[in-house]
Amino acid sequence: MPLVSSKEMLQKAYAGRYAVGAFNVNNMEVVQGIMDAAKKENAPLILQVSPGARKYAGPIYLRKLVEAALEDSGLPICLHLDHGDSYEQCVAAIKDGFTSVMIDASHHSFNENVLITAEVVRYAHERGVTVEAELGRLEGVEDDIKVTAAESSYTDPSQVREFVLRTGVDSLAIAIGTSHGAFKFKGEPKLRFDILEEVERLLPDFPIVLHGASSVPPRMVSLINGNGGAIAGAKGVPEDMLRKAASMAVCKINIDSDLRLAFTGAVRESLVGNPSHFDPRQYLRPAREAISEIVRHKIINVLGCSGKA
């Protein structure tokens, strides 16, 4: 089976009231861990690559890893560019075989965001590639660019219809209180479900995307801190909130930080517990297993997409 766009995947998720997991990949063990879980659960999958990941691993290596995942699993996989920040970057990814791209022009004015997104949509749609855009701005760190709380903003529901009609975009990321990274809330977690409800009312049957959707499980934070780490105060989005979002118009849920935490916790525990180990396979094997475990947990208990491949 070739790589697929996200069109059908997200339509099915909308109709079935579940969400597809979009997992960020950077290296072989992360890809293999995700694939192990998706195969066990027969789940549809979006593997997403940020511009930073392309720089780190090299575009060819990442593409080949995803091709291997496809060949090995036979599952429907969409290869998605996460947070593309320019038309040129999206075009380069499409030329490289990506079947879906995000153009994140949310830091521009509404009108500029429309113009840049529409340009990407024209190029992508001629090639059967789906496009995700963003309205509103999430707090947190992406690709070394830090968006502060003051710079972040909730999505204004009154803009979404015009944005989608003028751009022709296939899915829309909205800001309802999630943020990138492992430190999402200082006090009680709170998401603006009223904004999501209003967007769903104004854009019926249209797939919404939730970024910054890691749960930062306390047991992973403890494992890291208990093995020499220092990430006290890390907090994520409670799973019941994500399940609620997935049962609404949210069809794609982006998860990166939880994979990083799972991987790092396993590596730290392995190295601290086995000071004589120096073969990377000895500590990367448990890291790969930890990725599989967390992704499987998400598929079954959070996304609801087990058996939907």
Contact 251, 171 (CB under 8 A): yes
- Residue 285 contacts residue 293 (beta carbons within 8 Å): no
Judged by CB under 6 A, does residue 84 bind ligand 13P? no
Cβ(264)–Cβ(228) below 8 Å: no
Contact with ligand 13P (CB under 6 A) among 29, 85, 139, 256? 256
Catalytic (active site) residue 82? yes
Tokens of 218: 């306390």
Residue closer to ligand 13P by CB (options 255, 287) is 255
**Residues 292-309, buried b or exposed e (16+ Cβ, 10 A)?**
bebbbbbbbebbbbbebb
Give 24 or 306: the residue with its C-beta nearer to ligand G3H.
24
- We find the least distance from the C-beta atom of residue 142 to Zn ion, in angstroms, to be 6
Contact between residue 305 and residue 18 where contact means Cβ atoms under 8 Å apart? yes
- Binding of residue 82 to ligand 13P (CB under 6 A): yes
* Nearest residue (CB) to ligand 13P, 44 versus 181: 181
Stretch near ligand 13P under the rule CB under 6 A, chosen from 27-35, 124-132, 159-167, 206-214: 206-214
- Residue 171 binding ligand 13P, by CB under 6 A: no
- Sort residue 293 into left (φ over 0), alpha (ψ -120 to 50) or beta: alpha
* Nearest CB to ligand G3H, comparing residues 141 and 309: 141
CB atoms within 10 A of CB 220: 27
Regarding 298 and contact with Zn ion (CB under 5 A), the answer is no
Q: Which helix (H) or strand (E) holds 37?
A: helix 28-41
Q: Give least dist CB 58 to Zn ion, A.
A: 22
DSSP state of 58: -
Positive or negative, the CA dihedral 241, 243, 244, 250 is positive
Residue 296 contacts which entry, ligand 13P, Zn ion, ligand G3H, none (Cβ below 5-8 A, type-dependent):
none
Nearest one of 87, 80, 124, 126 to 105, comparing CA atoms: 87
| Total residues interacting with ligand G3H, rule: CB under 6 A | 10
Q: CB of residue 249 vs ligand 13P: minimum separation in angstroms?
A: 17
Q: Is 256 in the site for ligand G3H (CB under 6 A)?
A: yes
Joined tokens for residue 178: 């999630």
**Please, which of residues 198-217 interact with Zn ion by CB under 5 A?**
211
Binds 143: which of ligand 13P, Zn ion, ligand G3H, none (CB < 5-8 Å by kind): ligand G3H
| Residue of the chain from 16, 52, 59, 168 that contacts ligand G3H (CB under 6 A) | 52
Shortest CB 281 distance to ligand 13P, Å? 26
Single out the catalytic residue among 36, 82, 104, 258.
Answer: 82
**Min CB(274)–ligand G3H separation in Å:** 29
Name the phi and psi angles at 146, rounded to 5: -100, 125
If DSSP states are collapsed to H, E and C, what string results for 112-171? HHHHHHHHHHHHHHCCCCEEEEEECECEEEECCEEECCCCCECCCHHHHHHHHHHHCCCE
Interface residues with ligand G3H (CB under 6 A) are 24, 50, 52-53, 82-83, 142-143, 180, 256
Residues annotated as catalytic are: 82
Interface residues with ligand 13P (CB under 6 A) are 24, 82-83, 180-181, 211-214, 254-258
